[in-house]
């Protein structure tokens, strides 16, 4: 196959035809068809090549056609050529600039993760380069585009597909013919080279197609460690054995919502209801108890396979734990879980909550004989404060996010053992599900993320449990604290943070800095990342709390219900038909979600359910 000489399709020559009317008509035809089909997505490299054409009207056509493919671009190929596209917003021809400003709105709508880059670029447009009459028109075009950018950022659901994990089976049939390579584009907009592609008749047996599945790029300085093997189903079974030794243990229920599944047009929907976990109204006690137990096992030379609650109680009864103090930061559920486990073993505990935390969540922690207070800082700054307090006082920090983040290193070095043990604790849910699940494996698993520790651990565990029929993993976050989504969308090998107040009703997910070890798992195994509005969480709470006739009631809080809300919105709202198609969410889909908490803020829960 040729690598140096360009191989151009018939369409390429049609778009560059000397007959301008004919070429323009073909451009309109392709753009119109692209509204309903991904038929022309495989021609993206050729459209890109034409961006550097010496004729302004050909450059403009190419730009319009690149934009027209944005709705089909779940692999993120447009992001690779975006610098070449953005260059046309500064074209010497004002007519080119105007048409490109109008066309790029389609990118803003369908690839919302690029809105920031568009805004940054249009702010650089030098209107003094054009005649006054034309510069005024361009200014109006910019204002209109800014309105679209603002609207796009407020979507109920924004999504980003992870190029390193998209499975061919989840793509539309039309996408199966996309055998193009964009990796070899030069940095110069004037020297766009596409080395080899076969535009027709390709299948997924073609190695060229496999090259579309571009791996996540990691910066040379990052120390990325994928510790998925630490969360295997075998490990989860051993963790569950420990949790079973705790008095009062009982598996939480796995509930089938048959009526809702029929309404949404999927085969089944199952919900793991964590509201009854150890009387804590949330799953977090799993992580806290296993983390403390593992720490004690190491300190007192208890073999991991002999770890059980009675061995730990013996340590307490002998007075060996009375001088021990653990410390953590929390948005509520994690801190309560740590405090609960520490209280049972007579270990002192200090818990710090971020500003805006409810008094109910604070009081639930205080009831476990812990020292607790609400700080004047957001979650991530509270994490840093807890780390400082632990170091200053000689306390044991048990945090559910990376200590690397707290120290500002922004990279996943050797994972913190406490964090790994916390994450392993969560996998007891997967071990229970493996025993409760009946029939074929789930096709879609929706997991919520704050820092991503639970999502990472469960994704790794489910990937191992269901490895013969790997599900599509969809990670759901609040759009006010979507650090995982932003890290995925940036795709630059760095962790991306969200600052500020993180004001969302999904308090349990109001975290602005990703857990680095969790991200290393998610970037390789998650299929899609969703950034959703509070309305999605509210919808999920109501659908679970006031279910379809025949379905059981599930009391689920804001953070617990957001995944079911996302499922219902995608499956039941035709505004998301394209996302539904890309996810392969259809009548054959078996959906699994985890309701991670009950009504942990009862006042707010009751208020939402009454509206």
> Hey, which residues are catalytic here?
284, 331
> Measured between alpha carbons, how far is 286 from 304 in angstroms, rounded to an integer?
16
Q: DSSP assignment of 465-523, as one string?
A: HTGGGPPEEEEEEETTS-HHHHHHHH-SSS-----S----S-GGG---S--HHHHHHHH
> Residues 495, 405: contact at Cβ < 8 Å?
yes
- Nearest CA-CA partner of 525 in 303, 235, 226, 142: 226
Residues whose CB is less than 8 angstroms from the CB of residue 330 and which lie 6 or more positions away in sequence, other chains included:
336, 338, 351, 352, 353, 365, 400
As given in the structure block, the two tokens for residue 9 are 């399709």
Q: Tokens 């671009």 map to which residue?
A: 73
Which three-class secondary structure state does DSSP give residue 311?
helix
> Residues 218, 224: contact at Cβ < 8 Å?
yes
- Nearest CA-CA partner of 140 in 179, 103, 102: 102
Whole-angstrom CA distances from 602 to 360, 368, 383, 592 are 8, 19, 25, 25
Helix (H) or strand (E) holding 157: strand 157-161
Which three-class secondary structure state does DSSP give residue 529?
strand
Q: DSSP assignment of 548-602, as one string?
A: PTTSPP----HHHHHHHHHHHHHHH-GGGHHHHHHHT-STT-EEEEEE-BS-SSH
> Measured between alpha carbons, how far is 488 from 74 in angstroms, rounded to an integer?
13
What are the start-end ranges of the E strands in 267-347?
268-273, 325-329
> Residues 11, 43: contact at Cβ < 8 Å?
yes
> Measured between alpha carbons, how far is 334 from 340 in angstroms, rounded to an integer?
10
> Measured between alpha carbons, how far is 348 from 396 in angstroms, rounded to an integer?
10
> Residues 397, 388: contact at Cβ < 8 Å?
no
As given in the structure block, the two tokens for residue 515 are 């857990």
Whole-angstrom CA distances from 234 to 23, 24, 230 are 61, 61, 9
Q: What is the DSSP letter of 5?
A: S
Q: Tokens 């010497």 map to which residue?
A: 92
> Measured between alpha carbons, how far is 370 from 347 in angstroms, rounded to an integer?
9
* Longest CA pairwise span in the chain (Å): 92
- Nearest CA-CA partner of 313 in 334, 288, 277, 343: 343
């Amino acid at each position: 196959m040729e690598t140096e000489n360009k191989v151009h399709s018939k369409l390429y020559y049609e778009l560059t035809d000397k007959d301008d009317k004919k070429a323009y008509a073909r451009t309109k035809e392709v753009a119109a068809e692209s509204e309903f089909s991904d038929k022309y997505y495989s021609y993206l490299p050729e459209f890109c090549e034409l961006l550097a054409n010496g004729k302004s009207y050909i450059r403009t056509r190419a730009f319009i056609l690149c934009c027209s493919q944005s709705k089909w671009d779940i692999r993120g190929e447009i992001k690779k050529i975006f610098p070449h596209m953005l260059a046309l917003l500064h074209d010497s021809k004002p007519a080119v600039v105007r048409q490109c400003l109008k066309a790029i709105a389609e990118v803003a709508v369908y690839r919302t993760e690029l809105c920031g880059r568009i805004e940054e670029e249009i702010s650089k447009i030098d209107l003094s380069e054009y005649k006054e009459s034309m510069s005024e028109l361009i200014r109006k075009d910019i204002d209109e585009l800014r309105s679209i950018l603002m609207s796009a950022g407020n979507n109920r659901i924004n999504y980003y597909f992870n190029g390193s994990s998209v499975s061919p089976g989840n793509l539309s049939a039309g996408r199966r013919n996309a055998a193009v390579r964009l990796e070899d584009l030069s940095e110069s907009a004037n020297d766009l080279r596409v080395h080899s592609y076969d535009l027709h008749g390709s299948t997924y047996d073609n190695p060229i197609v496999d090259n579309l599945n571009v791996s996540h790029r990691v910066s040379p300085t990052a120390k990325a460690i994928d510790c998925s093997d630490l969360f295997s189903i075998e490990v989860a079974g051993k963790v569950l054995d420990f949790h079973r030794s705790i008095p009062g243990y009982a598996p939480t229920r796995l509930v089938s919502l048959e009526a809702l599944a029929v309404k949404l047009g999927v085969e089944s929907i199952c919900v793991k209801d964590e509201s009854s976990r150890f009387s804590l109204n949330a799953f977090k006690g799993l992580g806290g108890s296993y983390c403390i137990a593992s720490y004690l096992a190491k300190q007192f030379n208890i073999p991991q396979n002999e770890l059980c609650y009675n061995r730990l109680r013996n340590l307490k009864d002998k007075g060996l734990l009375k001088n021990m103090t653990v410390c953590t930061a929390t948005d509520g559920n994690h801190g309560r879980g740590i405090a609960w486990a520490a209280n049972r073993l007579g270990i002192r505990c200090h818990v710090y909550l971020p500003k805006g935390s409810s008094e109910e969540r604070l009081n639930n922690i205080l009831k476990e004989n812990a020292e607790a207070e609400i700080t004047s800082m957001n979650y991530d700054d509270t994490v840093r404060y807890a780390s400082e307090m632990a170091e200053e006082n000689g306390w044991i920090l048990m945090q559910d996010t990376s200590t690397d983040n707290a120290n500002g290193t922004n990279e996943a070095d050797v994972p913190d053992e406490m964090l790994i043990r916390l994450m392993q604790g969560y996998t007891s849910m997967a071990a229970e599900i493996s025993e409760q699940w009946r029939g074929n494996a789930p096709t879609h698993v929706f997991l919520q993320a704050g820092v991503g520790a639970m999502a990472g651990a469960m994704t790794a565990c489910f990937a191992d449990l269901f490895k013969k029929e790997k599900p599509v993993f969809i990670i759901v976050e609040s759009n006010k604290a979507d650090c995982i989504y932003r890290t995925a969308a940036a795709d630059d090998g760095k962790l991306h943070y969200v600052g500020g107040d993180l004001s969302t009703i999904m308090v349990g997910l109001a975290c602005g800095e990703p857990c680095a070890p969790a991200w290393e798992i998610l970037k390789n195994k998650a299929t899609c990342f969703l950034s959703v509005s509070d309305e999605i969480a509210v919808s999920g709470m109501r659908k679970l709390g006031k279910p379809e006739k025949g379905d059981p009631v599930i009391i689920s809080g804001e953070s617990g219900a957001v995944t079911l809300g996302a499922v219902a919105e995608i499956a039941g709202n035709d505004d998301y038909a394209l996302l539904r198609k890309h996810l392969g969410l259809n009548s054959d889909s078996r959906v699994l979600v985890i309701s991670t908490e009950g009504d942990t803020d009862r006042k707010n829960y009751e208020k939402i359910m009454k509206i």
